Amino acid sequence: MTLSNRYALLIGADLPMRERAVLCTARALGMAVVVLAYPGEVLAQRRRPAASLADDYIVSPYLLDPVHALEAVKDYERKTGLTPAAVIPVNDFVLEAGAAIAKQYSIPFHSDAVILRCRDKLLMKAELEKAGLNVAPTLAVNEGTASYVFKDQEKAIFKPSVFGGSGGVRLVSNSQELQVAIDDAAKLLHKYKDILYIDPERIHLEAFLDSELEVSVEVYCRPDECKAAAVTHKQLSPRPYFAEMGHIVPYAGFDYDALCETAEKACRALGIERGVSHVEIKIVEGVPFIIEVGARPAGDRIIDLVYRSLGVDLYALHAKSYCDIWDDMPLIKRRGTAAVAFLKAAPGKITCINPVVLPEGVHELSLYKGVGDFSARDAQNFETREGHVEWFWPIEHQDTPDFMFQTARLSADLFEIERN
């Protein structure tokens, strides 16, 4: 078996804003990259950028079911004679499929135990608590969720237990609001359940952590060490939703180092020993609470922001780890401040997209929707964003402007809306 008939299999890199994983993987490993693509028309519209960067791609129905995913890769081998030298996951939903493929071809991957702890938020919280880390207390799970009895003035967070992208997450304070949250989440989960290989019945209710301050930490994990690379400051949508509407790297808080240590401890507690992991933390009156940990790199261009602002290629470290190549964490060299913010149009039908003058610092503007598409009333999750603006200010730049305000103004100028 020679390198010429082997390739790096990237799973999940065709989802929006992860496309740079293709380039970084090819550069880091020096081999062809094949993308195991997300199936279904519901995701097809955003598949093209990554597919055009990769050497090839594999797509067929329900690829994230491990049985179907493995069969698709074996079928690709029969057609081409090529086999994977590495299986590299780029988001949560692909972990089970990646493990099945890696076992077949005897190549490195996460253990089943690690995958289970990182995919199911309830199991994850139990492990983190055992390690002495703070998590939001769980109030009810699965069928017990709908019948939860609220205390006076109590607020809680409803969540699907095995989903992502803020999908279905909602603040509730009574049984009526809870039922609305359950019903809305059910529609979303059943829309994606077969494509994403998830259990739509896994839901839970947890205590509300009342704080606007949320960060994420990217952690490079090796068998003997978990080392934080960067802290990102998150900007969330108005309640009752928790859609991520902006990110800025690096976070400017005084507790930067303490948050890095907390994230490293969380990864060790879950047994993650490979690749880049994404740790989300809510800070309540100075106390960090772990929201969740993903055994994969961040989405929403955060990995690109880290590279642009701090000079660390996390996609390269991630890819190499799945070949058992263990580079040291590079020296961080601050280049500037990088951010991304998401466009949110007024609710209604988009009738026109206007030319705009871009403010200083705009690195990229990308639209997800066009004329004839509809904009939702609220920014609820990954589905209800109209595009993004990526920003960069070099280190010589004195002050970081209010990029969230500027993005909101761009949204208002870009989209003409026919109200429903």
Nearest alpha carbon to residue 217 among 276, 161, 286, 272: 276
Nearest alpha carbon to residue 93 among 74, 66, 68, 71: 66
pLDDT of residue 48: 61
Nearest alpha carbon to residue 383 among 102, 42, 68, 83: 42
Helix (H/G/I), strand (E/B), else coil: 206:
strand
Helix (H/G/I), strand (E/B), else coil: 357:
coil
Give me the half-sphere count of Cα atoms (radius 13 Å) on the Cβ side of residue 142. Answer: 5
pLDDT of residue 63: 65
pLDDT of residue 45: 46
Q: What is the pTM of this model?
A: 0.93
- Report the CATH number of the 3-109 domain: 3.40.50.20
**Class of 210-334 in CATH:** alpha beta
Helix (H/G/I), strand (E/B), else coil: 99:
helix
Nearest alpha carbon to residue 235 among 361, 389, 399: 389
pLDDT of residue 1: 37
Q: How many C-beta atoms lie closer than 10 Å to residue 144's C-beta?
A: 12
Give the chain's count of helices (H) and strands (E).
12, 19
pLDDT of residue 315: 98
pLDDT of residue 60: 62
State in Å, rounded, how far the first CA of the chain is from the last one.
60
pLDDT of residue 271: 98
Encoded amino acid at 43, one letter: L
Residues of the chain with pLDDT under 70: 1-3, 38-48, 51, 60-63, 165, 420
Q: How many C-beta atoms lie closer than 10 Å to residue 299's C-beta?
A: 22
pLDDT of residue 42: 45
pLDDT of residue 65: 84
pLDDT of residue 352: 97
Distances (CA, A) of 191 to 3, 177, 200, 376: 40, 22, 10, 17
pLDDT of residue 62: 60
Cβ distance 92 to 294 under 8 Å?
yes
Indicate the Cα dihedral angle 270, 274, 276, 280, nearest 10°.
Answer: 0
Ranges of each domain in the chain: 3-109, 137-207, 210-334, 338-418
Burial category of 172 from C-beta neighbours within 10 Å (exposed 0-12, middle 13-18, buried 19 and up): buried
Encoded amino acid at 239, one letter: R
Nearest alpha carbon to residue 9 among 82, 80, 92: 82
Quote the CA–CA distance of 129 and 266 in Å, as a whole number: 10
Quote the CA–CA distance of 316 and 10 in Å, as a whole number: 12
**Class of 137-207 in CATH:** alpha beta
Q: Residue count of the chain, please give it.
A: 420
- Examine domains 3-109 and 137-207 and report if their fold is the same: no
Helical packing angle, 20-29 and 302-310, nearest 10°: 60
